[in-house]
């Protein structure tokens, strides 16, 4: 087993950008939560609070034309690829200026122009779909890589195993990333899983290396991502990475997450990826003023996005019957 | 012109499209060197090689997931699900992923893919390898559903399905695989959403699909012998549905009989019956009558299976009883 911790060769400027992305994800998700409580965000939403380093580290390692496949917990992965905040927030709020004009919602964020080929809400389904995009890249010879994020609980569904086997035998350029936040919805994953590390312990069954990374350390994530993506791009086939992390909040909506032991929550809050990175950057020569400036500019960005999203019109009937088919319509008869 | 079996027509249609467009690929279990368990892909592996005609593990979710991911990134896969009953193990990919994603993403992605599958009974395979599932597919918004009844239509509809920018479920009646007909040489491209009137008669309209089409034609011949002249329509495409042709022909005769292999409840004929009663009720001279497989899993024994699936005799008896009532 490879257990990776830092270091990257990234210069300070690149690291400040990693900091900025994590802060943006943090502040965006915090605002999304507030807007949910204020009933601006309807339905459901699953936040990545606490898991930002994984999205930020991987996105930084990706080429602009690489593909992201995310789950319903996908705001962070979408934003990290460069999708602006306003359309994401507006999508959560069901407005026409939303990323999908309100037709997808929080769990289905997709932005093809940014390589975000979707957020999928039926557990496991997107692993084989990511294989398909990787197969396509392989066949077309484009050296693109598909990166597929999923949770620890998602390792027990059949599609996970079908996808890993297919990726392995076809040597597909796909990187599977298990965000192991220890919990499914309200059940601890190890309680219902045959092995302690739900992804890494299964890797060998598909001829893959077991890779575990500290998912709260963006440098470590970046490094492991870079290695896996380079391998995939060079025709070396898939990788599976288990990134250890923790969600600060509940599973979804306003879930307070009370089923989790207080000591466990406290332990992980003390390992919050953002303050940890803040401290590292200071130690590596950044100034407090630089970091505060990043935090302030992100806060201003979130304010603007909030206002723009709230100002977005609600969708009209013209959208309802659109885009079932490629001709833009929904006719099933003549 | 060559005599072609239905199964040869499948590989002919696929090969025609693969020659034209190198983004067309085929995947499925045993479809490569083995040529498919029903021999529907014979010759493709030899002509196009292992990168374009690819054997997969027994992983139906992976097969269809791969087809979906490939379709959204520039390829046009043709995936095989060996028996249509097996859609049950990968239905999530079909219904929740492929069918919904264009709509959910406000049109950002398209799925130009074809899912072929051996469908229906008549081979004494028992309940898990014999169901006619066209009604499963028809009820899903976002899927096109094509069911050819003869070799010529197989070639042309396969080409149309491959060229269509939307996902198409292409159901191949297993009991027709060895049926033969003359098929012209050269490229053949049909279009989706067009029913065909195979025979015209003034008394009643029989609307049939897939393996029921030759039976409906045979029944119409026998009915003509007892003075009942039938129009026979081959639906060919459930989605899009050619209601213009069907309603016109039902209006002309005043009677509609559907001949369906799917089990009775929620079969496609139920939808057709509803359309007819909403739109041309006053043109009808009698009730709409559906001739279907009963609402049972298909039994294996030949004697029982023959009782379950609509037969020429059952069609003749049902139509003549109803017309003489
Ligand atoms: C097939 C399927 N079963 C159940 C669910 C309901 N569900 C949604 S999220 C979830 C927990 C998933 O846990 P995990 O994979 O660890 O991801 P996390 O939410 O922790 O990111 C469950 C059971 C679902 N969406 N799909
Ligand atoms: Mg989890």
What tokens were used for B132? 């006619």
Say if residue B171 is in the same domain as residue B135.
Answer: yes
Instruction: Determine the structural domain holding residue B297 and report its residue range.
Output: 196-324
Does any domain span residue B189?
A: no
What percentage of residues in chain B have a pLDDT greater than 90?
A: 99
Nearest CB to B72: which of A104, A117, A163?
Answer: A117
Say if residue B205 is in the same domain as residue B292.
Answer: yes
Binning chain B into helix, strand and coil, the percentages to the nearest 5 are 40, 20, 35
Average pLDDT on B55-75 reads 98
User: For residues A116 and A139, what is the distance between their CA atoms, to the nearest angstrom?
Assistant: 20
Residue A7: which pLDDT band, with cuts at 50, 70 and 90? Answer: low
Interface probe for A, chosen from B66, B94, B163 (most Cβ of A below 10 Å), is B66
Does any domain span residue B162?
A: yes
**Cβ(B290)–Cβ(B258) below 8 Å:** yes
> Looking at A2-6, A97-101, B91-95, which range is the least confident one?
A2-6
Say if residue B302 is in the same domain as residue B168.
Answer: no
A318-334 pLDDT, tens digit each? 999 999 999 999 999 99
**Cβ(A6)–Cβ(A217) below 8 Å:** yes
What tokens were used for B41? 């892909």
Backbone phi, then psi, for B124, in 5-degree steps? 60, 35
What tokens were used for B183? 């098929």
User: For residues A244 and A224, what is the distance between their CA atoms, to the nearest angstrom?
Assistant: 13
Backbone phi, then psi, for B181, in 5-degree steps? -160, 170
* Domain end point (choices B183, B206, B233): B183
Residue A6: which pLDDT band, with cuts at 50, 70 and 90? Answer: low
Average pLDDT on A1-27 reads 84
Question: Ligand 2 centre from A193 Cα, in Å?
Answer: 12
Say if residue B213 is in the same domain as residue B280.
Answer: yes
User: For residues B136 and A218, what is the distance between their CA atoms, to the nearest angstrom?
Assistant: 46
Indicate the Cα dihedral angle A49, A54, A56, A62, nearest 10°: -150
pLDDT in the model for residue B325: 85
pLDDT in the model for residue A3: 46
CATH architecture under which domain A2-320 falls: 3-Layer(aba) Sandwich (3.40)
pLDDT of residue B319 exceeding 50: yes
What does DSSP say about strands A174-180 and A146-151: parallel, antiparallel, or unpaired? parallel
pLDDT in the model for residue A4: 42
Residue B24: which pLDDT band, with cuts at 50, 70 and 90? Answer: very high
Say if residue B228 is in the same domain as residue B152.
Answer: no
Sheet holding B76-83, edge to edge: B53-55, B24-28, B76-83, B114-119, B168-173, B144-146, B237-239
Nearest CB to B62: which of A140, A162, A324?
Answer: A162
Spell out which residues of chain B touch residue A117, defining contact as CB-CB under 8 Å: 69, 72-73, 109
Say if residue B129 is in the same domain as residue B268.
Answer: no
Average pLDDT, chain B: 98
Average pLDDT on B267-290 reads 98
Closest CA to A322 of A309, A311, A331, A314: A331
Average pLDDT on A148-175 reads 98
pLDDT in the model for residue A9: 87
What percentage of residues in chain A have a pLDDT greater than 90?
A: 97
Say if residue B80 is in the same domain as residue B170.
Answer: yes
A324, B142: Cβ pair inside 8 Å? yes
* Domain end point (choices B183, B210, B230): B183
Residue A5: which pLDDT band, with cuts at 50, 70 and 90? Answer: very low
Assign residue B269 a region (left: φ > 0; alpha: ψ between -120 and 50; beta: otherwise).
Answer: alpha
**H/E stretch holding A171:** none
**Cβ(B182)–Cβ(B2) below 8 Å:** yes
Average pLDDT on B289-309 reads 98
What does DSSP say about strands B196-199 and B256-263: parallel, antiparallel, or unpaired? unpaired
pLDDT in the model for residue A8: 78
Q: Report which bound ligand comes closest to the CA of A182.
A: 2
Instruction: Count CB pairs under 8 A between chains A and B.
Output: 162
Does any domain span residue B190?
A: no
CATH of the domain at B136: 3.40.50.970
Say if residue B39 is in the same domain as residue B74.
Answer: yes
Nearest CB to B66: which of A132, A319, A323?
Answer: A132
Of ligand 1's listed atoms, the one at least distance from the Cα of A124 is 1
Spell out which residues of chain B touch residue A148, defining contact as CB-CB under 8 Å: none
Average pLDDT on A249-254 reads 94
Does any domain span residue B303?
A: yes
Say if residue B171 is in the same domain as residue B235.
Answer: no
Q: Could you state, in order of their start, the residue ranges of all structural domains in chain A?
A: 2-320
Write the burial class of residue B226 (CB in 10 Å: 0-12 exposed, 13-18 middle, 19+ buried). Answer: exposed
User: For residues A255 and A223, what is the distance between their CA atoms, to the nearest angstrom?
Assistant: 33
Spell out which residues of chain B touch residue A137, defining contact as CB-CB under 8 Å: 73
Of ligand 1's listed atoms, the one at least distance from the Cα of A123 is 26
Average pLDDT on A244-261 reads 96
Q: Which string of DSSP letters, residue by residue, matches A251-315?
A: SSTT---TTS-HHHHHHHHTT-HHHHHHHHHHHTT--HHHHHHHHHHHHHHHHHHHHHHHHSPPP
User: For residues B117 and B111, what is the distance between their CA atoms, to the nearest angstrom?
Assistant: 18
Average pLDDT on B181-201 reads 98
Say if residue B209 is in the same domain as residue B116.
Answer: no
CATH of the domain at B311: 3.40.50.920
Say if residue B69 is in the same domain as residue B204.
Answer: no
B73, A136: Cβ pair inside 8 Å? yes
Using the Cβ of B58 and the Cβ atoms of chain A, whether some distance falls under 8 Å is answered with no
Using the Cβ of B243 and the Cβ atoms of chain A, whether some distance falls under 8 Å is answered with yes
pLDDT of residue A237 exceeding 70: yes
Enumerate the active-site residues of B.
129
* Domain end point (choices B183, B212, B229): B183
pLDDT in the model for residue A2: 47
Using the Cβ of B191 and the Cβ atoms of chain A, whether some distance falls under 8 Å is answered with no
Domains in chain B, number? 2
Say if residue B32 is in the same domain as residue B146.
Answer: yes
B139-169 pLDDT, tens digit each? 999 999 999 999 999 999 999 999 999 999 9
Spell out which residues of chain B touch residue A325, defining contact as CB-CB under 8 Å: 102, 142, 165-166
């Amino acid at each position: 087993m490879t257990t990776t911790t830092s270091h990257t060769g990234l210069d300070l400027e690149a690291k400040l950008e990693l900091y900025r992305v994590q802060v943006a994800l943090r502040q965006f998700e915090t605002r999304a939560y507030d807007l949910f409580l204020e009933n601006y965000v309807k339905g459901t939403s699953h936040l990545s609070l606490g898991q930002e380093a994984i999205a930020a580290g991987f996105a930084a390692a990706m080429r602009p034309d690489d593909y992201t496949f995310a789950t319903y917990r996908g705001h962070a992965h979408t934003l990290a690829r460069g999708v602006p905040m306003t359309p994401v927030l507006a999508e959560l709020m069901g407005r026409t200026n939303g990323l999908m004009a309100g037709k997808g919602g929080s769990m289905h964020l997709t932005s093809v122009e940014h390589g975000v080929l979707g957020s999928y809400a039926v557990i496991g389904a997107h692993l084989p779909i990511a294989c398909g995009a990787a197969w396509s890249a392989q066949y077309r010879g484009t050296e693109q890589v598909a990166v597929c994020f999923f949770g620890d609980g998602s390792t027990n569904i059949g599609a996970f195993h079908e996808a890993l086997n297919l990726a392995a035998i076809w040597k597909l350029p796909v990187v599977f990333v298990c965000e192991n936040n220890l919990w499914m919805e309200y059940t601890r994953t190890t309680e219902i899983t045959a092995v302690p590390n739900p992804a890494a312990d299964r890797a060998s069954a598909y001829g893959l290396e077991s890779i575990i990374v500290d998912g709260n350390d963006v440098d470590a994530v970046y490094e492991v991502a870079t290695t896996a993506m380079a391998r995939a791009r060079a025709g070396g086939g898939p990788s599976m990475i288990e990134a250890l992390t923790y969600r600060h909040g509940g599973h979804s909506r306003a879930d307070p997450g009370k089923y989790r032991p207080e000591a466990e929550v406290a332990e992980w809050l003390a390992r919050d990826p953002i303050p940890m990175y803040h401290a590292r950057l200071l130690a590596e020569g950044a100034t407090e003023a630089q970091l505060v400036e990043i935090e302030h500019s992100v806060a201003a960005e979130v304010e603007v996005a909030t206002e723009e999203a709230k100002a977005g019109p609600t969708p009209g009937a013209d959208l309802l019957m659109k885009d079932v088919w490629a001709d833009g319509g929904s006719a099933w008869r003549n | 012109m060559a005599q072609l079996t239905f199964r040869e027509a499948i590989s002919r249609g696929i090969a025609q499209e693969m020659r034209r467009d190198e983004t067309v690929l085929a995947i499925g279990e045993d479809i490569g060197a083995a040529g498919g368990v029903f021999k529907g892909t014979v010759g493709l592996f030899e002509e196009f090689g292992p990168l374009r005609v690819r054997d997969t593990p027994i992983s139906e979710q992976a097969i269809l997931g791969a087809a979906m991911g490939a379709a959204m990134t520039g390829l046009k896969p043709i995936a095989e699900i060996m028996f249509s009953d097996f859609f049950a193990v990968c239905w999530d990919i079909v219904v929740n992923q492929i069918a919904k994603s264009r709509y959910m993403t406000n049109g950002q992605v398209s799925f130009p893919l074809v899912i072929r599958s051996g469908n229906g009974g008549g081979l004494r395979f028992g309940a898990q390898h014999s169901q006619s599932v066209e009604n499963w597919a028809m009820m899903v918004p976002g899927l096109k559903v094509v069911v050819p009844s003869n070799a010529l239509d197989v070639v042309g509809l396969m080409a149309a399905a491959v060229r269509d920018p939307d996902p198409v479920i292409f159901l191949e009646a297993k009991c027709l695989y060895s049926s033969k007909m003359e098929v012209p040489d050269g490229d053949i491209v049909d279009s989706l959403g067009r029913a065909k009137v195979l025979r015209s008669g003034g008394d009643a309209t029989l609307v049939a699909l897939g393996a029921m089409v030759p039976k409906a034609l045979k029944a119409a011949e026998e009915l003509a012998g007892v003075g009942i002249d039938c129009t026979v329509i081959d639906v060919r495409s459930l989605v899009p549905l050619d209601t213009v042709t069907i309603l016109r022909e039902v209006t002309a005769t005043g009677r509609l009989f559907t001949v369906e292999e799917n089990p009775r409840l929620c079969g496609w004929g139920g939808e057709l019956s509803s359309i007819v009663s909403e739109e041309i009720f006053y043109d009808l001279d009698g009730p709409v009558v559906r001739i279907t497989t009963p609402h049972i899993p298909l039994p294996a024994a030949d004697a029982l299976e023959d009782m379950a699936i609509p037969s020429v005799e059952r069609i003749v008896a049902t139509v003549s009883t109803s017309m003489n009532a």
